[in-house]
Chain A
C-alpha cells in the first residue's frame, strides 16, 4: 500500500461508524411508540391516582389533627386498601386487579365521604373538591388499559360507580347530593388527553423508519467503501503489479517465476470467487430477492432490530413454493413481534440438517399462552393461518414455544428437497 489511494483506513471507518451509531437518538419507532404511550399514560395516571388518594387521606385527617373532633383514622384506613390495590394494578394490570380496585374503591369512597361529611358540618352538599378526590382516583383506572377505547369504558364505569357511592354516602349522612363539577371537569380533561394520546402517538413515525433505513443504508455504504479499500489494496498487490510489470517489459519470453505468478494471480481471483460462492451461495441464488430477505428488510424498516444467524444457502436452494412459504411465514412472525411482543428486537436463525431446512424466529417479548392459539376469537390468527397452515401446505411443520412473559420462538421445518405443494 504505497499510495493513499490504496490505503483505506478500515479500522478508523468502523470506529467512526460505531461512534455515529452511538450518538443517534431518534426516539422510538411506531410500534414502540404505542407501547411507550400506553406505559406513559398508565404510569402517570396511576401516580396521579395515588396522589389523589394521599390528598384525600390528608383532607380527612387534617381537621381531626388540628381542630377538635378527633382523628378519623378509620376513614384513612378505608383509603389505604384502595391505594394498595392501585399499587397491585401498577405491578400487574389484570382485569381482576382493576375490577377489585373499582369495587373496593367504591366502598372506600362511600366510607370516606361519610367520614368527611360528618366531620365537617360546613360541608352541606357533595359538590366539593375533597369529595371528588377518590372519584378522580377511581376514574384514573382507565389509564391502566392499553386499549384507549376499553380505557374510556373503565374510566366511565368507575366514575359512575364512584358517584353512586357518593350519592349513597350523602343519603346516609343526610346531606344534599350534588353532582360535583370538579370530578366532571377532571373526567372531561382525562378523556380528552387519553384520546389525544391515542391519536398522536403513532403520528409521523414513518419518518423514523425512513431515517433508520437511510442510516442503515449509509452504514452499509461506509462498510462497502471500507471493504472496497481492502479489495483495492489486494488488487494493487496482485494483478496491478503484474500489469505494471507487463506494461514496462520488453516483449519476449517471460521468466518461469513470472508465469507462475500470473497463474497464481488468476487462480487467486477465480478460486476466491468460487469459494465465496460456495460459502454464500445464497447470494448466487438471489438471497436479497427472497421473501425471507425482504421480510427481514421490511421488519428492520419498521424499527425492529432483526439479527440473522446461520447459513442462508440451504434456504435459497429450497423449491420455490417452500421458499416462498417459509419467507412469508417468517414475515408474519416478524409482524407479530412488532405488534405483540413489546420488544424492539428479534432473531432469525437458519439451519439445515437431515434433509430439512429449519428457520426459527425468536423474540424475548411478552409471550402468550400457546394453548389459546386455536381458541375462538384469539388475536393470534396471523400465526395460525399465515404461519402454521401456510408451512403445513408445503409439507412442513411449525412448533410454537411460548408462555406469558417468557418470549416466543416459532420453529419452521420444511423438507430440503420438497416438491410439494400448491402454496
Chain B
C-alpha cells in the first residue's frame, strides 16, 4: 500500500461507505451547534458581549452547514481549501465565544468552543485524508489551549497548563479518533481492492476455459447446420457440383456476416439487451460510449439495471445521450441518462445514490437531478 493511498480521503476509496455514513456529519455538526446553544444559555451570566456570543454561534452554524452540505451524497466532497475554511470558521467561532466571555468566564470546561471544534473536525472523517485531520486537530487544540491558558478570572486556581489540557484534549481526542478511523477504512479498502484484483487475475484461466469451450461449442453447432455437411459431402463425392458453388458462397457470406456482427457488438449492446431498452435509446453520434472505462461502465450499468429492477424508471423511456464535453477539456465526454420517473422520486434517488457516489469518485461532476417528472443522471468521462 503506497503512502499516496493515505493521501486520499476515505470517501474516494470507499464511496459507498461514505454515502452510507454521510448523516454522521450533520449529526455531529448539529450536536456541536446544540451544545453551543445550550451552554450559551446556561452560562449567559458570564457573557460580557452578547453580540459577540451571537456572532460566535452564527459562525459555528455556518461551519456546520458548510460541512453538512459537503458531506451530502449529492455533493460528497470537500477540498483542502474548503476544509480549512470549515475548521477555520469553527475555530473563529470558538475564539469569538471566548472573547464574548473574556474576564467573566468561570470554568474552561464550560466553554463550548473546544467541543464544537472537536465535533466539526470529527465530521471530516470521510471527507479529508487522516493526516490532514490530525493537523486540523493540532491546530484547533493549540488555539483553544492557548486561549484557555490566557483566560483571566477563572474560578479554579491552577497552572494555565491544566486549562490548556482541558481545552485542547476534546479536540485532540476526536481528531485522533477520526484520523484513526480514516486510516482503518483506507487500509481495509486498499487491501480489499488489491486482494480483489489478485483474485480477478487468478480467475482468468477459469473464465478463459469456460468461455473458450462455450464459444467452440457454439461455433461447432453453427458449422454443423450447413458448413460441415457441405464439406463432408464434397469430400465424400470427390467432386464439386454446380449447386455446391452457390451453397459455398452463401454459407461463407453467412459466416462472415455473423463474425462481423459479433465484432461490432460492444458492452452497450449488451446493456441495451439486459435492460430491455429501445434500440434507439442511445444517441452517441461520435461513438464515445465504448470508450467509457470499465469501472464507470460497471457502476453506470449496475445503476440502470437496479433502477429498472426496482421499478423506479421505465425501460421504454430511457434515453442515453453521449456528447463531447463542451469547452476547453477536449479529451472528455458527457453521458446523460434521462427518463421519466415511474415511482417515487425518493426511491429513484435512494436507489441511484450509492452508484452515483461511485461514479463521483471517478468524475466529480456525477449527479442525479429531477425536473418535474423527469430524472437525469449525468457524469463526465475521459475519452483520451
Write the residues of chain A forming the contact surface with B, with a CB cutoff of 8 angstroms.
5-6, 8, 14, 17-18, 20-29, 32-33, 35-36, 39-41, 43-45, 47-48, 51-52, 55, 58-59, 62-63, 65-67, 120, 122-123, 128-130, 133, 136, 182, 185, 189, 192-193, 196-197, 200-205, 207-208, 210-216, 218-221, 223-225, 227-229, 231-232, 235, 239-240, 242-244, 246-254, 259, 262-263, 265-266, 269-270, 272-273, 276-277, 279-280, 283, 287-288, 303, 305-308, 344-345
Contact = CB atoms under 8 A, between A and B. Distances in A.
B255 interface: yes
A207 B31 CA distance: 30
Contact of A211 (B20, B201, B302, B353): B302
Interface stretch (B91-99, B293-301, B322-330, B365-373): B293-301
Contact of A44 (B21, B176, B209, B230): B176
Contact of B252 (A65, A185, A244): A244
B43 interface: no
Contact of B242 (A22, A59, A251): A251
Nearest to A208: B16
A194 B170 CA distance: 18
A27 B165 contact: no
Interface of B: 12-17, 19-21, 23-24, 27, 31, 35, 108-109, 155-159, 161-162, 165-166, 169, 172-174, 176-178, 180-181, 183-185, 188-190, 192-193, 195-204, 206-217, 219-220, 223, 227-228, 230-232, 234-235, 238-242, 244-246, 248-249, 251-252, 255-256, 259-260, 262-263, 265, 267, 270, 293-295, 297-299, 301-302, 305-306, 353-355, 358, 361
Contacts of A25: 12-14, 189-190, 193, 295, 361
A353 to B, nearest CB: 21
Given A25-B14, A44-B184, A211-B302, 14 more contacts: A27-B14, A27-B15, A36-B189, A41-B181, A48-B176, A129-B166, A185-B35, A218-B301, A231-B219, A235-B219, A243-B252, A247-B249, A251-B239, A344-B199
B228 A276 contact: no
A27 B13 contact: yes
Main secondary structure of the interface of A (DSSP, over half): helix
A58 B161 contact: yes
B35 to A, nearest CB: 8
B207 A223 contact: yes
Of the listed residues A29, A276, A277, the one surrounded by the most CB atoms of chain B closer than 10 A to its CB is A276
Contact of A240 (B35, B255, B302): B255
A225 B214 CA distance: 12
Contacts of B19: 204
Given A27-B15, A44-B181, A205-B16, A122 B294 contact: no
Given A224-B211, A280-B209, A239 B358 contact: no
A214 B251 CA distance: 36
A405 B305 CA distance: 40
Contact of B161 (A66, A122, A203, A228): A66
Given A48-B177, A223-B207, A270-B228, A207 B293 contact: no
B109 A128 contact: yes
B172 A51 contact: yes
A39 to B, nearest CB: 5
A264 to B, nearest CB: 10
Given A40-B180, A40-B185, A203 B20 contact: yes
A263 B293 CA distance: 45
B252 A201 contact: no
Given A24-B193, A200-B23, A246 B248 contact: yes
B27 A44 contact: no
Given A39-B184, A52-B173, A55-B169, A67 B21 contact: no
Nearest to B178: A44
Contacts of B240: 246, 249-252, 254
Contacts of B267: 218, 221
A303 B262 CA distance: 31
A307 B207 contact: no
Nearest to A35: B188
A248 B240 CA distance: 11
Of the listed residues B31, B199, B209, B245, the one surrounded by the most CB atoms of chain A closer than 10 A to its CB is B199
Contacts of B251: 243
Contacts of B188: 28, 32, 35-36, 39
A27 B361 CA distance: 11
B201 A21 contact: yes
A219 B207 contact: yes
B256 A240 contact: yes
A348 B162 CA distance: 60
A228 B239 contact: no
A208 B174 CA distance: 30
Given A240-B252, A247-B249, A218 B298 contact: yes
Nearest to B237: A254
Given A21-B201, A205-B20, A251-B242, A273 B158 contact: no
B212 A47 contact: no
A265 B231 contact: yes
A33 B17 contact: yes
A133 B196 CA distance: 42
Contacts of B242: 251
Given A40-B185, A218-B297, A307 B202 contact: yes
Contacts of B255: 235, 239-240, 243
B234 A254 contact: yes
Of the listed residues A43, A44, A273, A345, the one surrounded by the most CB atoms of chain B closer than 10 A to its CB is A44
Nearest to B108: A129
Given A232-B262, A262-B234, A220 B165 contact: no
Contacts of A48: 173-174, 176-177, 180
B352 to A, nearest CB: 9
Nearest to B182: A40
Contacts of B17: 27-28, 33, 36, 201
Given A25-B361, A207-B358, A283-B213, A239 B223 contact: yes
Contacts of A33: 14, 17
B184 A36 contact: yes
A18 B90 CA distance: 45
Contacts of A276: 212-213, 216-217
Contact of B207 (A62, A210, A220, A251): A220
